[in-house]
Amino acid sequence: MATGGFAESGADLELVGIRKEFPGFTAIESLDLTIPAGSFFALLGPSGCGKTTTLRLVAGLEEVTSGRILIGGKDVTATKPYQRPVDTVFQSYALFPHMSILENVAFGLRRRKIADATGKAHEALRLVELDHLAGRKPAQLSGGQQQRVALARAIVNRPALLLLDEPLGALDLKLRRQMQLELKSVQSEVGLTFLHVTHDQEEAMTMADTVAVMNRGRIEQLGAPAVLYELPRTVFVANFLGQSNLFTGNVVGSTSTSITVDVGGTPIVVPTARSHRHSGTVTVGVRPEKLQLAFDAPTATSALNILGPGRVVDVSFSGVSTQYLIAVPGIGTIVLFAQNMVVGPVATEGAEVWVSWQVEHGFGLEDTAEEESRFPADTDTAALATQSEALLAELGEG
């Protein structure tokens, strides 16, 4: 699919000391972030973490309380949305129902009196493989096709930075996965800078070159998807990006290559290079798919962590794998994923089993599961009262 030099290269985005306050609360406390030109960057986090606010600040739909926004090295903090080299694709496609697909894509170009708007619109539609449907109305297209039209409408403006605000949330699972691959392909072909905001972990890891996990107005960890998954830095990242078995205990031994943590009387060994703490109280973890299930105690070796015996308390079939919940005395409940290599579960509820994993698959976090969160919970009555008082005060001043 030739673009014929359709899109200009993307520009880098730099956020410097961004702070955003709303009446009664701070959405973003202090955010520093650099997104290289031409990259596919995902901002991942739960609802209310500040990711959509960040996107709206970049688009110019919200004003920063303090800090600077630079696109391609140019400070755009004080500029209007239409003055920024930015375009946004929203979850709602926002297509004009009375216009054809071609007219929808060409609309912005014609308003700005860009030469050959129709030709450029056709080129954008060819890029998303929909030019053969150019004469149809939006209602005659599927949800996935409408989303591709919305993407074409954004790309045709040649933005240096394309913002994607949970654009696949309205699609069913099969369409969503198909669109993930198509978006990634389009981004790679046109070379624009994509900033994708999502709460879907699989979507972020499938599409992005770099993922930033956001929590309560700050970046918890940033890096390649595989690095974040295999080596989470905090309890939040370990639990939000997939599932993790986490154990907290005191470091009772160490060598040049590993530390040993006492968890309920059982030693768990983690490589030093894969742990952010090496002394005191440490939370260590392992992903459920790294675990092995056995009906007899495995042979102890220096390369293996072993827990058990435990009892299977739940078995859940999910197609590709079976999830086992295993209660181990003194340790707690462990989650184990076993790939479905045979028909039916390997172990049934009530079975006595052992769990093991390679030492090299474990990780150690920089915080502990017992630590209190940096901010009070949103549902905390004292926090709500404080927010209400601040809001009333600001309204009174206005």
| Average pLDDT, integer, range 379-396 | 46
Compute the distance between CA of residue 175 and CA of residue 393 in angstroms, rounded to an integer.
48
The answer to pTM > 0.85 is: no
Q: Residue 309 sits in a domain of what CATH number?
A: 2.40.50.140
- The predicted pLDDT at position 344 comes to 63
Is 343's pLDDT higher than 80?
Answer: no
Window from 59-73, 98-112, 171-185 with minimum mean pLDDT:
171-185
Instruction: Using alpha carbons, select from 248, 245, 276, 280 the residue that is nearest to residue 365.
Output: 276
Above 70 in pLDDT, residue 285? yes
My answer on whether 166 and 285 are in the same domain is no
User: Are 202 and 252 found together in one domain?
Assistant: no
Question: Does residue 46 contact residue 228 with C-beta atoms inside 8 Å?
Answer: no
At 108 the pLDDT is 83
249, 270: one domain:
yes
Q: Which domain holds residue 56?
A: 13-229
Residue-level pLDDT at 224? 95
Provide the CATH number for the domain around residue 159. Answer: 3.40.50.300
Q: Is the pLDDT of residue 279 over 60?
A: yes
Do 42 and 147 belong to one domain? yes
Give the pLDDT score at 207. Answer: 87
Instruction: Taking residues 27-39, report their average pLDDT.
Output: 91
How long a stretch of residues is the chain?
Answer: 398
Same domain, 198 and 249: no
Asked whether the beta carbons of 40 and 184 are under 8 A apart, the reply is: yes
Tens-place pLDDT, residues 57-103:
999 999 999 999 999 999 999 999 988 989 888 767 678 889 999 99
Three-state DSSP class for residue 251: strand
The 10s digit of each residue's pLDDT in 237-269 is 999 998 999 999 999 999 999 999 999 999 999
Give the separation between CA 358 and CA 243, rounded to whole angstroms: 18
Residue 275 DSSP symbol: B
Residue 378's CB is within 10 A of a number of other CB atoms, namely 11
pLDDT digits (tens, 9 = 90+) for 299-340: 999 999 999 899 999 999 988 899 999 999 999 999 999 988
Q: Could you give the number of structural domains in the chain?
A: 2
Tokens (6 digits) for 185:
């392909």
Higher pLDDT, 103 or 396: 103
- The whole-number pLDDT of residue 372 equals 42
Q: Is the pLDDT of residue 394 over 70?
A: no
What pLDDT does residue 377 have? 47
